[in-house]
Amino acid sequence: MTATPGTKRMTVLQATYIGVGSMVGAGIFALLGAAGAVAGAAVWLSFLIAGIIALLQGYSFAKLGAKYPSGGGILTFLSKGYGEGHVAGIGAWLFFTAGSIVVAMIASSFGSYASSVVAHDDPTWAKVLGVLLILVMSGLNTIGSAAVARVQSVIVSVVLVILVLFAVVTIATWNPALLAPSGYPGWTHIISSVALTFFAFLGFGVITFTAKDLPNPARQLPRAIYFALLIATTVYVAVSLGVFGTLTADEVVKYGSTALAEAAKPVLGQAGYVLMVVTALFSTTGAVNAGLYPSIGMTQHLASVGQFPPFFGRKWGPFPAGLVVMAVLAILLVSFFNLNAIASIGSAVALLVFSAVSIGHLRIRRQTGGNIVILWIGLLATLGTFVIFSTTTLVNEPKTAFALLAILVLAVVIDFGWKAAARGRRARAV
C-alpha cells in the first residue's frame, strides 16, 4: 500500500524516533527505581528479557502492519483478527486506557524532575508541572503529525547522544562488584520485574499508528519497529549497567525517578547531575509528545468503523475529541495516582492487549505470512509475563489489582453498553 504522493510526510527515521522517544522516556528515567526494588542490580537482565519479548511482539506487529497499514495501528490488527465485534472493541478501549496511563506515568516523571529544579521536590508542584506538560504537548499534536515528527527527531537525537555518553563514561568507571551475580535476587524476582520493565517498551506500539503518515508503510513500518526496539534495548541495558555499576541497588531505589541523575554525580560531578536532569526533561517531554500522537488517528479510525462512538471522530475547535479525552484521563491519573501504581496497571493492560493481538494474528497468519513458531513463542512469552506478574506483583498490591479489574470490567461495560444503545437508536429510527 503506497500513499498518494504528497499526502505522507514522515520518514522511517522519524517513525523510529516516535517509538524511541516514547520508550526511552518511560523506561530509563521513570522505571529504574521501581525495577531495582524488585530485581536489584539484575535490572539490566530484566530489560534485556523484556526487549527480547518486545522484539517477538515487534515481529508480529511488523507482519500485520505490512499487510494492513492503517491509522488505526494495532487496533486495526485486532479487527482483522477478530472482526469488528466486541473482542476488537474491548481491546480498543483497553489500549486507549493503556495509552493514557503511559502518558500519565511519563508526565509524572517529568514533574518529579522539573520540581527538583524549580520547587525543591514539592509533590504538589510535581503534579502541576506534569499536568502542564500534557496540556502543552496536546497543543502541539493539534498542529499535525509533521510537527510532532520534527520535534520528536530533535528531542530524541539530543537524548540519545547524552545517554550514550553517560553509558560510556559510567561503564568505564563502574565497580564490577556492584553487578556481581552473587548479589542478584532469585530468578522469580527477575522474571517478575520483566512485567515492569516491559512497560518501558510499550512505546513501540505507537509506531504502528505512523502507517498513515509513511509513503510506503508495507516496507517502512517494519523497519521503523525493528530499529526502534533495537535502539531502545541497547540504551536500556547499557544505561542500567552504568547506573547499577555506580550506585548500590538500595541507592537506586532510594533516589527513584532521579536515580540516573544521581548516578552521574560520582563521575561527572554536579554538572553531570544537571545534565541528566535536563536530559530527563527533554526525554519525558518527547515521550509524552509521542504517547499522545496516536490518540487522534486511532480514535477517528475506531469511530469510522463503529468501534467507538461517533463523538470520537469529531473536533472541539482545533482539538480532536480523542486527543482531549486521552489528555483528560492522563491528567486525572497524574493528579490522583502514584507512579508505581500507574506503571503496574499500564503494564498489565498492555500485556493483555498485545496477547490478544498475537492470538488474532495466529488466526490470520496465512494472510500475513507470519512464522507460526515465532508467533507462538511471542504469545507464550507475553502471557507468561502477565501470569508471573499477576501471581507476584498484583498479589502484593491489592489496590492495583482492583484497579486493573475495574478497568477490564469498565471496558466490557462501555463496549457492550454503547453498542446496545446505538442499536436501539437505529431500531427506533426505522
Query: Each residue of 244-291: pLDDT tens digit?
Result: 998 888 888 888 767 877 888 887 888 887 888 888 888 888 888 878
CATH number at residue 275: 1.20.1740.10
What does the pLDDT read at residue 189? Answer: 82
In angstroms, how far is CA 340 from the centroid of its own chain?
A: 15
Query: Do the domain assignments include residue 167?
Result: yes
Query: Each residue of 70-123: pLDDT tens digit?
Result: 777 888 889 899 988 888 889 889 888 888 887 888 888 788 878 877 767 678
Q: Give which of 395, 29, 37, 344 is closest to 189, Cα–Cα.
A: 37
Query: Do the domain assignments include residue 429?
Result: no
Query: Do the domain assignments include residue 428?
Result: no
Domain count, the chain: 1
Candidate from 5-14, 299-308, 309-318 with smallest mean pLDDT: 5-14
Residue % of the chain over a pLDDT of 90? 20
What does the pLDDT read at residue 59? Answer: 93
Q: What is the mean pLDDT of residues 226-233?
A: 93
What does the pLDDT read at residue 49? Answer: 92
Q: Is the pLDDT of residue 2 over 50?
A: no
Query: Do the domain assignments include residue 430?
Result: no
Query: Each residue of 361-375: pLDDT tens digit?
Result: 999 999 999 999 999
Domain residues for 122? 12-418
Contact 199, 54 (CB under 8 A): no
Query: Each residue of 324-360: pLDDT tens digit?
Result: 999 999 999 888 876 655 666 777 888 888 899 999 9
In what helix (H) or strand (E) does residue 316 lie, and over which residues does it extend? strand 315-316
What average pLDDT does the structure give for the chain? 84
Query: Do the domain assignments include residue 5?
Result: no
DSSP string, 349-378: HHHHHHHHHHHHHHHTHHHHT--HHHHHHH
What does the pLDDT read at residue 342? Answer: 60
Q: Is the pLDDT of residue 1 over 50?
A: no
**pTM of the model as a whole:** 0.81
Query: Do the domain assignments include residue 72?
Result: yes
Q: Which residue has the higher pLDDT, 165 or 297?
A: 165
Number of H helices, E strands in the chain: 17, 2
Residue % of the chain over a pLDDT of 70? 93
